[in-house]
Structure 1
Amino acid sequence: MKAEAKRQLYADTEEMLALQDTGTVQQARQVARLDARQYTDEAQFSSEKNRIFKRVPLMLAASCELNEPGAYKTMDIAGVPVLLVRGKDGVARAFLNSCTHRASPVAKGCGKAARFTCPYHGWSFGREGNLVGIASRETFGDIDPDDYGLIRFPVHEQSGLIWAILDPDAPADFTAFLGEFAEMLGGFGFENWHFGKRTTLEGTNWKLAFDAHLEFYHLPVLHRETFGPDTGNAAHYQYHGPHFRLRHIGKRAERTGFDSVSLLEGLPREAWPTEPLFSGEWILFPNVSINSFFQGGRGVIISQVIPGNTVGESVTVQTYLHKKAQNEEEQATAAELTSFIAHVVRDEDLPMSQDQQHILSSGIQKFVQFGRNEGGLQHFHRWVEHCVSTDEERPLADLMAAAPDIP
């Protein structure tokens, strides 16, 4: 981690400790309204796909998910089929998951492969995306294989995370968008962690599904049976460009195993252990949450909320990573936690967003509100609006330079 990122990490932690002492949080300047059509309008959704998901760097995987040459993972993001693979040279690459002959997918699911062969006509591609085999080449015709490799997306691997821009013609400009936030994430050391489990949950509009990750106001109400009715509902937000950290102020149900910055209270700064510095949720715009836990050993839950084929569809992919290999007892304890979190999202958060979608789709309720205690929601939706309203031809550096105000 670079010195400036480390200084910011400590400054954020000191700010949080001061708030723990007073029990107060900084609120947004005012209550904000959002047009309900932001969640239901197909034209809006089309703009989000083009001006956000095909424009800004997206965190697609943890490095340890592709832990050896040939390891691959496929995804479908806002209608773009993606193949992630680690090459023989150790470099992670992202491609359009499509044979350049007749547009058939060359891989499905996750696994390990030396090459990818199209199931339609048998064309084969290497792990670096190069076309290595044309079936019945002598009768197909004369083409240059170098011109027909898999379509490649710009990729950047940093802090144990793999980012890509889903536009093959986009400049590989990641620094302006990721900024110091990605540097701070380097303190986790994800490149040396272990992949545990992946859970996929179907949901409704991607923003409604993601909204639940951006505030704790609903914890003692919607989650009263899981987190408990006496769980605090206050959150403190620390913004870093479009990204931010979300930290809980108050009591959390013990069974969740989530860590707290309060572990540092009473210790001099030079004696602070490292791990509590990374507490809370790390929100990576536009669609990723990284949540820390200690149950069953040090771990994180990475939630990716991925837009579906229509405005009312999404998928939440929960990926569980652990810092070290686990013994049987730790595995069982971590499995209990991961099942608990999947239950919370699948059986409480997502059904609520489905109800919201149904009501907002009626067109009768014209807006929703975000309170002063829901600054993260205000921040997120301002960035969505900023990206959608800015011409996609403008470079990422310009987009970041004209950033919206913090709420």
Structure 2
Amino acid sequence: MTALAEQINRSVEAMLTYVETQTTDQAADILKVPARDYLDPARFELEMARIFKRLPLMLALSIELPNPGDYKAMEVMDIPVLITRDRAGQVHAMLNVCTHRGAPLVKAGQGTASRFVCPYHAWTFQNDGRLFAVAEKAKFGEVEKDCHRLKQLPCQELAGMIFVILTPGLAMDVKSYLGGMLDDLESLDFSHWHFCGNRDIQGANWKIAYDGYLEGYHFAAAHPETVHPRTFSNIMHFEGFGPHLRIGFPQRSIGKLRDVPRADWHRHQNDGYDFVRTLFPNLSIFVAPEIAQIALLLPGPTPGQNRTILTYATPRPPADEAEREKMAMMASFFGDVTNQEDYVLGLSIQKGLQSGALDHVTFGRNERGNQYFHRWVDHYLTDDPAAPPPRL
């Protein structure tokens, strides 16, 4: 049995016990987070500088750029990012900014191109960022091509995901950053899934939105007809891997696993229990048997706003049009639940905090994932390499 399988078996054992005893995973005490942490512009800028512009962010699935020449252009917190796959299959990330006069090279979206031509003066770049040609070079003058390469961003592809750091020149080691979470992500095998598309939704402060992915305490009240009929409310199991989490949610059918050999429990994901996997600071992954929803939270442009990109993938391509429509309906269902039952409520929470009604947001002992997340946010904001990391 692999170490990952035993990890999951232990998690299932814990969830079974919680259901049978009507308990849940708990922290040692409650945690109070200042309400201003969701509102303060100065703190927001510090979060952008010390978290979002320093840490690896998962900006694309590998299957979004499956072939040489494919690209994805996107705005990430007002930073224009261009991700490409070159002729050798290597991924690159760069600023989507022409090195002549600063114009964007390509509009946001996905496509295939071996070269990018600036719409302003027709400078041409290869899809790895190298300057290929200067329009009317004889009139323009001599240009050192190496000095006019598109500004490169640190980029690595791992576990079927493409990670980017938004600050040029920073060292990047995604394998170390993911740590013990890497085996779990590799087991999902996203590099062989089928990309179904993206959907954008708008929400409140990025931490308000992210808080909703980190607990099931709200299932009964916020999801009475969607999530709660399948999944117990307020029964969770948390496993931490550095700043990342794997959160177990027992289904109402989990008791049947008592009749299954313990060694096989890890084979029953979505058949007795579900996991939500979160990658700090802004990614939530929910994998159902038929489809996965991967939520990428992008803060801003103000402290009270976030844009979330929901990406959908299926284990295999649809066999026919009927199956394609079924997948689209499932993606729409998951997206509607997230938007209408979580994000709309989050926007109301933002208004509530802005009213000054609360000095603190209180996280209970049962909201252990939220406590862990907020302690990691504070840890990175201290900017002290010698500070001990938070413990779950």
Partners in 2 of 1:271 and 1:363 — Cα distance?
47
* Shift in CA distance, 323/389, structure 1 to aligned 2, threshold 3 Å: same
1:227 deviation in Å? 2.9
The number of residues matched between the two structures is 385
Partner of 1:16: 12
Partner of 1:206: 206
Partner of 2:106: 107
SS at 1:280 equivalent: strand
Partner of 2:237: 236
Give the unaligned 5+ runs of structure 1.
253-259, 392-397
**Do the aligned residues in 1 keep the contact of 2:237 with 2:249 (CA within 8 Å)?**
yes
Letter in 1 for 2:361: V
Partner of 2:391: 405
**Do the aligned residues in 1 keep the contact of 2:9 with 2:263 (CA within 8 Å)?**
no
| 1:61 and 2:60 are equivalent in the alignment | yes
Partners in 2 of 1:190 and 1:334 — Cα distance?
17
Letter in 1 for 2:379: H
Partners in 2 of 1:350 and 1:163 — Cα distance?
25
* Shift in CA distance, 264/332, structure 1 to aligned 2, threshold 3 Å: farther
1:117 deviation in Å? 1.5
1:75 deviation in Å? 2.0
SS at 1:213 equivalent: helix
Matching residue within 321, 331, 352 for 2:345: 352
Give the unaligned 5+ runs of structure 2.
none
Matching residue within 260, 265, 283 for 1:288: 283
Q: Superposition pairs for residues 208-357 of structure 1, below 5 Å?
A: 208-228=208-228, 231-233=231-233, 234-251=235-252, 266-269=260-263, 273=267, 279-294=274-289, 297=290, 299-328=291-320, 329-357=322-350
**Do the aligned residues in 1 keep the contact of 2:295 with 2:311 (CA within 8 Å)?**
yes
* Shift in CA distance, 83/184, structure 1 to aligned 2, threshold 3 Å: same
Deviates more, 1:324-333 or 1:81-90: 324-333
**Do the aligned residues in 1 keep the contact of 2:84 with 2:91 (CA within 8 Å)?**
yes
Q: Structure 1 vs Structure 2: percent identity of aligned residues?
A: 36
* Shift in CA distance, 261/47, structure 1 to aligned 2, threshold 3 Å: farther
1:261 deviation in Å? 10
TM-score scaled by structure 1?
0.88
1:52 deviation in Å? 0.5
1:41 deviation in Å? 0.8
Partners in 2 of 1:18 and 1:176 — Cα distance?
28
TM-score scaled by structure 2?
0.91
Q: Deviations over 1:39-98 (max 9, x none)?
A: 111111101111011101111111111100111112222232211111111011111111
Q: Deviations over 1:297-322 (max 9, x none)?
A: 3x311111111211112111111111
| 1:383 and 2:376 are equivalent in the alignment | yes
Partners in 1 of 2:86 and 2:7 — Cα distance?
39
1:275 deviation in Å? 6.0
Partners in 1 of 2:331 and 2:353 — Cα distance?
31
Partners in 2 of 1:262 and 1:186 — Cα distance?
28
Partners in 2 of 1:70 and 1:265 — Cα distance?
51
1:21 deviation in Å? 4.1
1:183 deviation in Å? 2.7
1:358 deviation in Å? 1.1
Letter in 2 for 1:49: M
1:228 deviation in Å? 4.4
Letter in 1 for 2:124: S
Q: Superposition pairs for residues 113-262 of structure 1, below 5 Å?
A: 113-228=113-228, 231-233=231-233, 234-251=235-252
1:107 deviation in Å? 1.5
**Do the aligned residues in 2 keep the contact of 1:17 with 1:262 (CA within 8 Å)?**
no
Letter in 1 for 2:241: H
Letter in 1 for 2:93: A
* Shift in CA distance, 230/164, structure 1 to aligned 2, threshold 3 Å: closer
* Shift in CA distance, 266/156, structure 1 to aligned 2, threshold 3 Å: same
